[in-house]
Amino acid sequence: MWDGEAAWAALPVVLEGFGVTLVATVLAFAVAMVLGLALALVQRAGPRWLALPVRGAAGFVRSTPLLVQLFAAWVLVPGLDAPTLGVLVLGVHYATYLSEVYRTGIESVPRAQWEACTALSLPRRRVWRAVVLPQAVRNVLPPLGNYAVSMFKETPLLSVITVQEMVHEANTFGSTHFAYLESFTLAAAVFLLASWPTSVLIRRLEARLAH
């Protein structure tokens, strides 16, 4: 049965955990965006001796559950604190997916523009910086936003390496005060309130870019 007093007491605890969840998501997604772009560029334009192992490593990470990667990193990299380790593992995991998103965006650039750059003898670096990447990133903004929301909803997995994010704090409060219903309901409500507006904005952006 719902206990209003317990819910009120749980609210600041859940919101404190939400702060950790939000910071972890922002930092991890920044890592994923930068590393994902680097992976895409290496696989698309890098030398074969480098592109092949990078492609294999990225495929291996995508094929391995995030939970397993967190446990492995927790055991194999004991020198890092849990929040930093969690951000890095989450960022690397999603970077392998974003690299495929970037690759799709790069391939969506019309072939005629590549040929025009070649005809103008533009330096390769300038072709990527001024012609290809601006169009590729614009084309993949909606998928990037969707992955950001997905990452936000997967941050509770960080609790397995003792990161005190929102679900971890809700569980701790529930076990201490025997109020699991109230604490987890509040956590679910916060997830919904934070992710729903973002999802709506992504859909609007996708519709706008389609025209």
- Structure letter (DSSP) for residue 78: T
Separation of alpha carbons 190 and 14, rounded Å: 8
Give which of 161, 169, 148, 190 is closest to 67, Cα–Cα.
Answer: 161
Contact 147, 198 (CB under 8 A): no
Q: Containing H/E element for 116?
A: helix 111-119
Output the pTM of the full model.
0.89
Give the separation between CA 27 and CA 35, rounded to whole angstroms.
12
Tens-digit pLDDT string for the chain (211 aa): 778 899 999 999 999 999 999 999 999 999 999 999 999 989 888 888 999 999 999 999 999 999 999 999 999 988 899 999 999 999 999 999 999 999 888 887 777 777 777 777 777 777 777 777 777 777 888 888 889 999 999 999 999 999 999 999 999 999 998 889 999 999 999 999 988 888 888 777 767 765 5
Which CATH number does the domain housing residue 178 bear?
Answer: 1.10.3720.10
Residue 76, domain extent: 4-209
Phi-psi domain of 123 (left: phi exceeds 0; alpha: psi -120 through 50; beta: other)? beta
Domain total for the chain?
Answer: 1
Are 92 and 31 contacting, i.e. CB atoms less than 8 angstroms apart?
Answer: yes
